[in-house]
Amino acid sequence: RVYFNPRMLTMVGLGFSSGFPLLLVFSTLNLWLKDEGISYIAIGLFSLVKLPYSFKWLWAPLLDRLKLPGFRRGWALFFQLLLMAGIALISTVDPAANLRLLAVLCVIVVIASASQDVVLDAYRIESFSLKEQGAGVAVYIIGYRIGTIASGAGAIWMASFMSWNQVYLLMALGTLVGILTILLSREPSKAEK
């Protein structure tokens, strides 16, 4: 019965939003860089852009204390819009001509994604009772996996018939899933207290 709660559908959308940006700055990006003839050393150095994921616990308390309108939803919307802008800006870069700019944009996307993860984890935890937590996580992970498939296999499939820049521009629209989910959801009651 718990899986038919409308909050579970919200978790699928938020899980998608969390998993979606991940491959766009890792595996999918590596394929684009390889196609552009970027050296393996430079591609390897791009793995450093994922460091903010390891340190998101440093700024998590700040996100928990600073209030935006809508609190959890406000922060989630802010980071989702930042993700959309960052991914769209990545689509304008020629990696062979401006690898540093691409690296900076990727760091911005990773920071926004890691921060979004902090907010969405809090949102998920505050949305369910203790008995519902396991089901909430399970459904969230389903959405997360769908998001990674979309930004991984989906992007690679699209790159077979369009340029990588066009792929990333279309991928920026993938953030609309999270944006619409947040706009159509309510603030968790625990957060309001």
101-155 pLDDT per residue, tens:
999 999 999 999 999 999 999 999 999 888 889 999 999 999 999 999 999 999 9
The angle formed by the CA atoms of residues 147, 45 and 86, to the nearest 5 degrees, is 45
- CA 117, CA 115: separation in Å to the nearest integer? 5
Whether residue 49 has pLDDT greater than 70: yes
Where do the H-state alpha helices sit in 128-193?
Answer: 133-149, 155-159, 164-172, 176-183, 189-192
Model confidence at 7, pLDDT cuts 50, 70, 90, reads confident
- Taking residues 83-99, report their average pLDDT: 97
Mean of all residue pLDDT scores within the chain: 93
The count of C-alpha atoms lying within 13 angstroms of the C-alpha of 115, restricted to the half-sphere facing its C-beta, is 22
Q: Would you state the pLDDT for residue 81? A: 97
Tell which residue, 100, 68, 105, 62, has the closest CA to residue 84: 105
Amino acid in the structure at residue 20: F
Answer yes or no: are the C-beta atoms of 25 and 106 closer than 8 Å. yes
What mean pLDDT comes out for the span 46-75?
89
7 and 128 Cβ atoms separated by less than 8 Å: yes
With bands split at pLDDT 50, 70 and 90, how would you rate the model's confidence at 93? very high
Report the candidate in 187, 168, 128, 182 with the shortest Cα–Cα distance to residue 15.
182
Q: Is the pLDDT of residue 192 over 60?
A: no
pLDDT at 190: 64
Q: What is the pTM of this model?
A: 0.92
Write down the pLDDT at residue 67.
80
